Structure 1
Amino acid sequence: MDDRTRLRLDVAYDGTGFSGWAAQPDRRTVAGVLVEALDLVLGAGTATGLTVAGRTDAGVHATGQVCHVDLPAQVWAAHEGRLLRRLARLLPPDVRIRAMSAVPATFDARFSATFRRYEYRITDAAWGADPLRRHEILAWPRALDLDRLTAASAGLVGEHDFAAYCRRKENATTLREVTRLDWRRDADGTLVATVQADAFCQAMVRSLVGAMLVAGDGRRPVQWPAGLLTRRERSSEVTVAPAHGLTLVAVGYPEDPAEYARRAEATRRLRVPAEA
Structure 2
Amino acid sequence: MQERTRVRLDVSYDGADFSGWAVQPERRTVAGALVQALDLVLGVGAATGLTVAGRTDAGVHATGQVCHVDLLTEVWHRHEHTLLRRLARLLPADVRIRAMTEAPDDFDARFSATFRRYEYRVTDAPWGAEPLRRHDTLAWPSRLDLAALNVAADGLVGEHDFAAYCRRKENATTLREVTRLEWRRAPDGTLVATVQADAFCQAMVRSLVGAMLAVGDGRRPADWPAGLLTRRERASEVNVAPAHGLTLVAVGYPDDPSEYARRATLTRRLRVPPQA
Q: TM-score range by the shorter chain?
A: over 0.9
Map of 1:205-220 to 2, 5 A cutoff? 205-220=205-220
Residue 62 of structure 2 is aligned to residue 78 of structure 1: no
1:50 maps to 2:50: yes
Q: SS of the residue aligned with 2:254?
A: coil
Please name the residue that 1:114 is paired with: 114
Q: Hey, what's the Cα distance between the residues in 2 that align with 1:250 and 1:135?
A: 19
Match of 1:139 in 2: 139
Q: State the match for 2:258 in structure 1.
A: 258
Normalised to the residue count of structure 1, the TM-score between the two structures is 0.98
CA distance in structure 2 between the partners assigned to 1:152 and 1:169 by the alignment: 26
Distance in 1 of aligned mates of 2:72 and 2:34: 18
Identical positions, percent: 81
SS in 1 for 2:148: helix
In the other structure, the counterpart of 2:21 is: 21
Superposed displacement of residue 161, structure 1: 0.1
Q: What is the TM-score normalised by the length of structure 2?
A: 0.98
How far apart are the structure 2 equivalents of 1:124 and 1:66? Answer: 32
Give the match's secondary structure for 1:207. helix
Partner of 1:193: 193
Counterpart position of 1:237: 237
AA aligned to 2:7 is L
The amino acid of 1:28's aligned partner reads R
Residue 270 of structure 1, CA deviation: 2.8
Note if 1:97 corresponds to 2:105.
Answer: no
For structure 1, which runs of at least 5 residues remain unmatched after alignment? none
Q: Secondary structure at the match of 1:188?
A: coil
Task: State the match for 1:176 in structure 2.
Answer: 176
Q: Aligned with 2:269: secondary structure?
A: helix
Aligned AA (2:8): R
Corresponding residue for residue 156 of structure 1: 156
CA distance in 2, matches of 1:147, 1:178: 20
1:213-251 alpha-carbon deviations (Å, 9 max, x no partner)? 010111100000000000000000100000000000000
The 2-side partners of 1:22 and 1:101 are apart by 22
- Secondary structure class of the residue paired with 1:62: strand
| Deviation (angstroms), 1:132 | 1.0
Q: How many Å separate the matches in 2 of 1:271 and 1:230?
A: 17
Match of 1:268 in 2: 268
Cα displacement (A) at 1:271: 5.2
- Give, in angstroms, the shift of residue 45 of structure 1: 1.3
Please give the per-residue CA displacement for 1:32-78, whole angstroms capped at 9, x wherever unaligned.
00000000000011100000000000000000000000011111110
Give the letter for the 1:259 counterpart.
E
Alpha-carbon distance between aligned partners in 1 of 2:16 and 2:197, rounded to the nearest angstrom: 24
CA 1:271–1:78: 2 relative to 1, 3 Å: farther
**How many residue pairs get matched?**
272
Q: Structure 2 unaligned runs (5+)? A: none
Q: Output the CA distance in 2 between the equivalents of 1:17 and 1:41.
A: 24
Distance (whole Å) between structure 2 residues aligned to residue 96 and residue 129 of structure 1: 25
Structure 1 Cα separation of the partners of residues 271 and 96 of structure 2 = 30
